[in-house]
Amino acid sequence: MKKIVSLAIVLLALNTGVFAQNCNADKAQKKEIREAIKEKASKEAKKSAKQMEKEGWKPFPGTETLEKQMHNSMLAKYERYNGMPAYIIGQGTATAANLDAARNVARKRAIANIAENLGTAIASITEASDSNIELTDGEVETINKTMTSSQQFFQREIGQTNDIVQIYRNKDGNKVEVMITKSYDGKRAQQAVLKAFEKESAELRAKLEKKMKGE
């Protein structure tokens, strides 16, 4: 009964977008959480893949099945690293006359979306109340402004990314629509954020770094 209740709590937290983190959790608890995430990702992937197949989406030639790609995407979405997501996810779509042209544009849009979602992730941790690090209203405002003004910087700074979803469908007769989902390593994302704050005070940088580490 204890195990069932524990799993239910984990799944409920995931459904509400809140991932309960416990730095002192033992290995058994961490394993239980990982298994719950895998189970949830598997269920969501099957449901999502069926819907996308109905909408005409297909995996790129030579890539994994639609369900497997959806599963990888879900796992990346839920995994955490300290106070931040383990991966920053970005998605881009594009329509063109051929597959390669649409894919190139979709990838660029996915990277731009990663930069946007990085800003969202930082806003989430700065506004969180369950932290030992307190930020003043002025510090929160500075962080938000810097993240907003650094979008192009982040797009340039983002290095290696992984294509976790590569799908396409025929559209409007002779055209093809492509959807690309990319993941960016959370550790590198944190480094990029701190680099964007080099001109800010050492105190603010230290607070932000601790926030990202979940302290």
What CATH number is attached to the domain comprising 157?
A: 3.10.28.20
Residues 158/184, Cβ–Cβ less than 8 Å: yes
Q: Which helix (H) or strand (E) holds 175?
A: strand 175-185
32 C-beta neighbours (distance < 10 Å), count: 16
Whether 90 is covered by a domain: the verdict is yes
CA–CA distance, 125 with 159 (Å, rounded to integer): 23
Whether 82 is covered by a domain: the verdict is yes
For residue 136, pLDDT over 60 is answered with yes
Whether 46 is covered by a domain: the verdict is no
Whether 10 is covered by a domain: the verdict is no
Torsion of CA 102, 103, 104, 109, to 10 degrees: 90
Whether 207 is covered by a domain: the verdict is yes
Tally of domains in the chain: 1
Residue 23 pLDDT level (bands cut at 50, 70, 90): very low
Residue 1 pLDDT level (bands cut at 50, 70, 90): very low
Q: What percent of the chain has pLDDT over 90?
A: 59
Average pLDDT, the chain: 84
Whether 16 is covered by a domain: the verdict is no
Region of 62 (left: φ > 0; alpha: ψ -120 to 50; beta: rest) is left
- pTM score, two decimals? 0.79
pLDDT of amino acid 12: 38
Whether 19 is covered by a domain: the verdict is no
Whether 206 is covered by a domain: the verdict is yes
Q: Tell me the mean pLDDT in the region 24-31.
A: 64
pLDDT of amino acid 26: 60
Residue 110 sits in which domain range? 58-212
Region of 184 (left: φ > 0; alpha: ψ -120 to 50; beta: rest) is beta
CA–CA distance, 51 with 32 (Å, rounded to integer): 29
